[in-house]
Structures are given as C-alpha cells and as structure tokens.
Amino acid sequence: MARTTPYGGTELSKFITHRVAELKPRKSQAEIASEAGFINPNMLSMIKAGTTKLALDRVTDLARALDTDPARLFRMAMLQSGHETTRPVVEEVFGTLVSRNEVDWLKAIREASGETDPTLTGRARSAIRGIFGK
C-alpha cells in the first residue's frame, strides 16, 4: 500500500507547520493560502501533513505570504522528494542560493575582513560557535 504522507517529516513540512502557527495571531491559515495563490484552500494542510509537496513555482508567493525568505523556502522545497539532485545543478548554473540574512552575514564578513576573502579558520569556527552558544 502506498504511503499517504510521502513528504511528512520533511524539513519543509515541519517549517511550514511551525510558521503557520507563529503567524496565527496575525492571519489564518486560509488567509495565508489565499495570499500564496493556492486555488485549493486545503493545499497548506496537505503540505503540512506531507501528503503533497510544495511546487517550486509556488515558492516565492508562499514565502511572501509566510513572511519568510524565498531562498530558504526554495532550498527546502528542492530537498523534498524528487528534488534532491536538482539543488546542486541549480546552484551550479545559477549560483549559490543564499537567504537575505546570509547575504547580510557575508557582507559583514567582507567588511570585517577588509574584503580579503578569509578562509574559515579554526578561530572563525570557534567564534561562530560562541556567537550561537554551541
């Protein structure tokens, strides 16, 4: 018998479940689905439950509706079943997928290092671990 939730437990289904819950005080799941352009209002429930995957052409609209970074959502969508091998090809052709926050980190690294393209040294790893309490 075929699995009814082939995308259940994926990073994307967990993220959307969490994000919809976070936004609940501001807007309903139905409003998010509508803003994202889903014709079927149950589509978000199906993505959360893992019965369907997020189509790549819905990523930017859903990211906007969820007030989240589209690059991050796109990476998670590619990691869902069927897209695992797509990511390296997409990144090879178009460049590395980075979120706006990651862009800001890279700008900070460039500025702090004087644009020297610093390597990720042990010192740098220690600093990042410390920054995030790891």
Partner 1 sequence: MTHTPVSIFHPGLEDLTENERAWVGFLRLITQDTDPAPTLARVQALRCVFSDPHSSGEDKVWKVPD
- Contact residues toward partner 1 (CB under 8 A) are 11, 60, 64, 69-72, 74, 94-109, 112-114, 117-132, 134
Q: Which is nearer to partner 1, 1 or 132 (CB)?
A: 132
Say if CB 72 and CB 62 are below 8 A apart: no
Contact 80, 7 (CB under 8 A): yes
CA–CA dist 12, 15 (Å, integer): 5
Task: Between 52 and 68, name the residue whose CB sits nearer to partner 1.
Answer: 68
Q: Closest separation between CB of residue 2 and partner 1, Å?
A: 29
| CB-nearer residue toward partner 1: 35 or 42 | 35
Minimum Å distance from CB 38 to partner 1?
A: 16
Token pair in block for residue 120:
């990720």
* Residue among 86, 95, 12 at smallest CA distance from 46: 12
